[in-house]
Amino acid sequence: METWTISAAELHDEIVRGRIPEILDVRNSDEFAEQKLETRRPVPTRHTPVYEVLDEPERFAEDTMDGAIVVCGQGNGLAMVVEEFLAAGKETRSLAGGMDAWANILVPVELDGLPAPARAWQFQPPAKGCLSYVIGVPGEACIVVDPARNHAPYLDLAKDHAMTVTHVIDTHVHADHISGGPSLAEQLGVDYHLPPEESAEEIPFPNRPLEDGEELPLGRDSVVRALTMRLPGHTPGTTALLVSEQLMLVGDTIFVRGLGRPDLTGQAEDLARSLFRSVHDRLEPLAPTTVIAPAHWSSPDEFNDAGAVTTTLREVFEATLLNERAIERFVEEILSTLPDAPATYDTIRLVNAGQLRPPEEELMVLDVGRNQCAASTSLT
């Protein structure tokens, strides 16, 4: 890699460490409006289309901070910008592969709290708020939950820890990103699991829905297991997984700062009631210290000191909204806070349910953009 470029993974690491003073995004205005380079640690970002920069490179170099990163769509043509800046005495680098490369990285963060030998990793894509997971026992088996389309990070981690992937699970039919679940399961020749309420008979890929209460062994220790649990509310058939009685993957049912919106399948009021019952009837009996790991994050303040996006059941039930025992008031509050769903969500759900098969170029476009699956931005 040229000395004036930086890879997406290196850029993420340097941003988290506070080493990047500024981002100069030279994409077209519509591309910049659609998706910005964001991480849990905000970086000052300026936007100027590349043709304007090249018209007056010395002036823009003067306005740019030393150490800034120049970003475009695919990384093409940035050599000229950086060369002009370097000639003007400004030390800058460009993002290799541009935002396309940024959109494909997944950063694994290990989660604490599981009893040995079980381990859990949360995969964070900086370009999007979606979270996915690998849960397993080194030297034995693991499962992949809510995977993105980029399979390599999951497979690399499994290989590094001598784990065999035995199951691939989508907690629900996602509306905000294209699932990598069916293709990963097909690649590995293992079972793929989608909730039965959301897997039509004509689904074109193999799917074995998990039964409520079904156990997925991860190792020889019978304590280490994933126990499935139905949690309808965000969607009709969301599946949650309780790992070793201490970690719960809840899909989009609960976020660190909100609840899953119930309107994406056209059943808003009914699912809002299901959401209330799911949280109170299925989750409240569990230990208050149970760690809740959601499928999305919405804002940087949701990351904890260890860099993970988690909460606990105690914190969930201390929230005003979920302490409200009157279901009618709960439903009214949820429905009144719903933002409009992005226009692409219906299409993405059809793709993830196997009902549409767009070309790769369209899939890439559908997969861009922040998730908007929360019913409210705060539980308090």
3-state class of 141 per DSSP? strand
Q: What is the signed CA dihedral for 299, 301, 304, 309, rounded to 10 degrees?
A: -20
DSSP state of 134: E
Whether the CA torsion 49, 51, 54, 59 is positive or negative: it is negative
Which amino acid appears at position 206 of this protein? P
d(CA 288, CA 318): 10
Q: Shortest CA distance to 239 belongs to which of 199, 205, 271, 194?
A: 194
On whether the CB atoms of residues 279 and 235 are closer than 8 A, the answer is no
How far is CA 194 from each of CA 58, 120, 173, 278, rounded to the nearest angstrom?
55, 21, 7, 18
- Bridge partners for 227 per DSSP: 215, 242
What b/e string do you get for 238-274 counting C-beta neighbours within 10 Å, with b at 16 or more?
bbbbbbbebbbbbbbbbbbbbbbbbbbbeebeebbbb
Q: Which residues are catalytic?
A: 72
Q: What is the distance, to the nearest Å, from the Cα of residue 249 to the centroid of all Cα atoms in its chain?
A: 13
H-helix or E-strand spanning residue 160: helix 152-160
The CA distances from residue 159 to 151, 167, 192, 268, in Å, are 12, 15, 20, 42
Q: Is 77 exposed, middle or buried (0-12, 13-18, 19+ CB in 10 A)?
A: middle
